[in-house]
Amino acid sequence: MCGIVGYIGKGNVKEILLDSLQRLEYRGYDSAGIALLDTSNKIEIFKKTGRISNLRLDLHSVNSQAKMGIGHTRWATHGGVTNENAHPHFDCGNNIALVHNGIIENYNVLKNLLEKKGHKFNSETDTEILVHLIEDIYKTEKISLEESVIKALNLVQGTYGIALISSYEPNKIICARNGSPLVVGMGQNEMFVASDVNAIIPYTRNVIYLEDKEMVVINEENCNTFNLNYEKIVKPISKVEWDLEAISQNGYETFMLKEIFEQPDAMLNAMRGRVNLPEGAIKFGGLNLTEAETRDISRIIITACGTSWHAALVGEYLIETFAKIPVEVDYASEFRYRNPIIQKNDILLVISQSGETLDTLEALREAKRKGIKVLGITNVVGSTIARECDGGIYLHAGPEIGVASTKAFTNQVIVMIMLAIYLGRLKHMSFYEGQRLLNELNKIPEKVNEVLKQAEKIKAIAKKYQYAKNFLYLGRGFNYPVALEGALKLKEISYIHAEGYPAAEMKHGPIALIDENMPVVFLATTGPLYDKVISNIREVKARNGRIIAIVNQLTDDLSKYTDDVVIVPETFEEFSPLVNVVPLQLLAYYIAREKNLDVDKPRNLAKSVTVE
C-alpha cells in the first residue's frame, strides 16, 4: 500500500505535493519522493527514505519554479527501503517520471525483454519496469504519450494506480488505475490527483473517482477520462462531504474499525500471485530454501509474541495437518532463554507484524547462533526481523495503525495456511487435495465480508455485555487459538479481564468461575468436535452462565442453550479461524466503544514492543 499525489496549476507545486503526501502517510512511510517539471520542461526528482518529514527537510532550500509534479509515499513491496527504490522512477533519458501504487506481477518477463533492448534499471522495483516500457513504446511506435501508456498498461498484469509526467508532452499529468484507488480533484485552474481524497480535501471537494482500467489526462483546466481502448468516458463529478479528520481514517471512526473492515482486501493481497489454483499449489518468492532443503525439514519451531503467537498456534495445527511435519510453538521470550534443544534439520519460523519485536528478534538471533535456518513472516517490509531472517513471507496486509492487531492476524493465518499447503504439496499432498483447499481459500474474503455485514448485530450484543467484569472464551482444535485471540482483543482495548481456554479444559478449573454474571463466548462452528462443544455449552448453561456463541447454523440445541448467537458462513474447519475471529474483534471493539475508550491507542500498550 502506497500513496500517490499529483498537481498541475499556478500554486506552489512543491508545497502542495508535500502537504498532500503528508495526509497519505498512513498508507506507507518507508520512503517518499516527488518529481517536479519546471518551466524549461526539465524534470527533477527528489526522494528520501523514511518519513515525509525527512524529504521535507531535504527540500527546504529547494526554490522550485515547477508548473506541475507528482509525489509518492512508499510502503515497500518489491525491493528494500532505499533511496533507489523510492518513487518517482525515471525512464532511461530522465524524460518520463512515474509513481505507482500496486504490484506489477509480470515484471520479470517485461524486465528481461526491456533489458535485451538496452534499458538500464536503477532500482529493484516492479514500478521502474513500467516507466521504461512506456518509454520504449513511445520511442519505437512514435505514438502519443497517452497511447503509449495505454499500450503499456495492456501489457502489464497486476494492480496499479499510476501518475506520470513527461518533458516530451509537458502540459499534462497522465494517471490510470486498476485495483489501486485514484481520485482526481478539480480546482479553479488547477487539478489534483491522489490515492484518496484525504490528500486533496483542503484544496477542493469536487472530485472524480476513477474506476479500474480507466486513464485520465489532466491539465490546468480539463480532465479527460478514457478506457483502455482509448475511448472517451464521461465521468460524474462528486462532492466530498466528509471533514478532514474523519477521512484520515478513510471515514471510519477509528483505525481499528477500518482495519477490521479491510480484512477481505488484505487477505486478497496476501494471496495475490501466490495461489496457483490450476496446479493446486502455492508459490512463494522469498523462502530461500531449495525444494530438497524443504523436504528435509524434520521439525518446525515457531516463535512469536501476543497476537502473532496465536497465529503461530493456528500454524501448528495447520502444518501438522497438511504437511505432517512436527511443530513446536514457543513464546519468543521463553525460547530465547530456555536453551532449547535444536537439531540439524529443524527450522525456526518467527512471526511478527512489526518485524521489530525485541523478544522475537532475540529468539531469531539465538536460533541463528545455534546454526539453523530462520524464516520470518512479517508485515513491515525491510524491518529488522525481515532483514535478519534467511528468507520469509510478507503479509501484505498494509500498514496496521491500530495497536490491537486485527488484519495482521488474519493475514498471518492466511500465510500459515498457504505455507502448510506449500509444504504438504512438496510431500504427500495430492494435486486434487491442493486444489480442493485452494478453491475454498479463495472464497474466504467473501465469507469474511458476510460477517462484517453483521456489525450492527454484534454492536447490540456488545451493548448488552459491556458491564461484565470477566469473560471466558472457549474453543477447540483450530478454534482454541481463536478463543485466546478473542480474549486478548477484549483485554487490550476494553480493559475487561478475559481468558481463553480449550473448551474441554473448562471443567478442570475455570468452571468454578461461572455464574449468572459470567459471559462465555463459545466458538461452536461445525467440525469434528462440534458435539463436544455443544456439551460444554450445556455445562455452562447448567451453571447459569450467559452464552454468546459463534455458529454456522442455529440448531434446536443452540437456540435452547445460548443467549446470543452470531451466525457465520461455514468453511473448512482448518480455515474457520479466519471467519470466526472477526465477530470476536467486533465484539471487543464495540464493548470498548460503549465504554468510550481510545481503541486505537489503548493504555500502556505500544504498537511494537522493542524492550524486554
| Piece in contact with ligand AGP (CB under 6 A), picked from 81-89, 144-152, 243-251, 299-307 | 299-307
Quickly count: other Cβ atoms within 10 Å of residue 169's Cβ.
17
Q: Which is nearer to ligand AGP, 260 or 305 (CB)?
A: 305
Q: Which of 125, 195, 353, 562 binds ligand AGP (CB under 6 A)?
A: 353
CB neighbour class for 272 (10 Å; exposed up to 12, middle 13-18, buried from 19): middle
> Is 235 a catalytic site residue?
no
Q: Which of 22, 360, 411, 525 binds ligand AGP (CB under 6 A)?
A: 360
| Piece in contact with ligand AGP (CB under 6 A), picked from 22-30, 202-210, 284-292, 399-407 | 399-407
> Is 175 a catalytic site residue?
no
Binding mask 306-345 for ligand AGP (x = CB under 6 A): xxx-------------------------------------
- Rounded Cα distance, 595 and 344, in Å: 52
- Rounded Cα distance, 417 and 434, in Å: 11
404 belongs to the binding site for ligand AGP (CB under 6 A):
yes
Which residue sits closest to ligand AGP, CB atoms considered? Answer: 306
Determine phi and psi for 327, rounding to 5 degrees.
-125, 140
305 belongs to the binding site for ligand AGP (CB under 6 A):
yes
- Rounded Cα distance, 95 and 377, in Å: 39
| Piece in contact with ligand AGP (CB under 6 A), picked from 127-135, 249-257, 337-345, 603-611 | 603-611
Grid cell digits, residue 128: 521502474
- Kindly give, in sequence order, each residue whose CB lies less than 8 Å from that of residue 410, ignoring residues fewer than 6 positions away: 263, 266, 267, 448, 578, 581, 582
Three-state SS at 97: strand
Give how far Cα 1 sits from Cα of 90, 173, 234, 380, 395, Å.
Answer: 21, 22, 28, 11, 12
Least separation, in Å, of the C-beta of 307 and ligand AGP? 3
Of 532, 595, 601, 607, which residue is the catalytic one?
Answer: 607
- Rounded Cα distance, 416 and 99, in Å: 32
Least separation, in Å, of the C-beta of 190 and ligand AGP? 41
Of residues 436, 404, 407, 335, the one with CA closest to residue 592: 404
303 belongs to the binding site for ligand AGP (CB under 6 A):
no
454 belongs to the binding site for ligand AGP (CB under 6 A):
no
Least separation, in Å, of the C-beta of 87 and ligand AGP? 26
Q: Which is nearer to ligand AGP, 352 or 562 (CB)?
A: 352
Determine phi and psi for 487, rounding to 5 degrees.
-65, -40
405 belongs to the binding site for ligand AGP (CB under 6 A):
yes
- Kindly list the strands in the beta sheet with 96-101, ordered across the sheet, starting from the edge strand earlier in the chain: 89-90, 96-101, 160-166, 173-178, 214-218, 223-227, 232-233
| Piece in contact with ligand AGP (CB under 6 A), picked from 56-64, 132-140, 301-309, 512-520 | 301-309
Count, residues near ligand AGP per rule CB under 6 A: 16
Catalytic site residues?
2, 607
Binding site for ligand AGP (CB under 6 A): 305-308, 352-354, 357, 360, 403-405, 492, 605, 608-609
